[in-house]
């Protein structure tokens, strides 16, 4: 039978889960990745908005630090020394079954999470009904994109198609363009 936690105990557990996830991923994570892992694809933290608030509370408490620019959506979060110390002393408060579930999920999905942070794509609607599609590649731990491609799509469907194809083919597209533009001989 599951033990019912007080609100305060639940908040502590949720904070530890976020620290544990970031520690196990072994790379800094975007807020969207943390929210996706903890509240969307899994229900380790039930309330999405609580998860979002907890991330920033951990930064304010100096258990996480952020790298990057929040205004352009590429802020990355990583553990501070204090965050690692806190987790090392308190990780056993996370039930073993939850730690095992988190570890298994992250091991199975590490590459997907990493690539979702490295290859981003968004679209916006133009006044004429077409869509601007912005495709980006980020280097790990670098907050500004190393490659940006803007294209115009005639419809929302074609914009979504371009985004889907970008996520599948970004490395080979970048390599092709780089090879055609930069002569290394």
- 29 in the same domain as 80: yes
pLDDT value of residue 177: 86
Domain boundary among 68, 90, 117: 117
66 has which bridge partners? Answer: 77
Q: Domain with 113 in it: what CATH number? A: 1.10.10
- 30 in the same domain as 64: yes
Dihedral, CA atoms, 110, 148, 139, 15, nearest 10 degrees?
A: -50
Print the domain residue range for 157.
118-181
pTM of the model: 0.70
In a domain, 2, yes or no: no
Note the residue count of the chain: 185
pLDDT in tens, 130-181: 999 999 887 766 667 888 899 999 999 999 999 889 888 888 888 888 888 8
Residue 67 CB partners (closer than 8 Å, separation 6+): 28, 75, 76, 77, 78, 141, 143
Averaged pLDDT, groups of 10, the chain, 185 residues long = 73 95 90 91 90 94 83 75 95 94 91 77 92 85 79 94 87 84 69
- 67 in the same domain as 32: yes
pLDDT value of residue 1: 38
- 100 in the same domain as 122: no
């Amino acid at each position: 039978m599951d033990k019912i936690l007080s609100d305060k105990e639940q908040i502590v557990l949720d904070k530890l889960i976020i620290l544990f996830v970031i520690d196990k991923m072994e790379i800094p994570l975007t807020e969207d990745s943390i929210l996706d892992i903890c509240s969307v694809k899994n229900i380790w933290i039930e309330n999405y908005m609580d998860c979002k608030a907890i991330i920033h509370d951990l930064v304010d408490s100096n258990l996480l630090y952020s790298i990057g620019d929040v205004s352009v959506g590429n802020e990355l979060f990583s553990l501070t020394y204090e965050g690692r110390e806190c987790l090392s002393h308190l990780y056993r408060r996370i039930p073993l079954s939850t730690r095992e579930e988190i570890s298994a999920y992250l091991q199975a999905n590490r590459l997907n999470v990493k690539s979702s942070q490295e290859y981003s794509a968004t679209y916006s609607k133009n006044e004429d009904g077409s869509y601007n599609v912005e495709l980006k590649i980020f280097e790990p731990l670098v907050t500004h994109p190393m490659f940006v491609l803007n294209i115009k799509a005639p419809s929302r469907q074609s914009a979504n198609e371009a985004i889907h194809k970008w996520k599948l083919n970004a490395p080979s597209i970048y390599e092709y363009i780089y090879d055609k533009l930069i002569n290394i001989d």
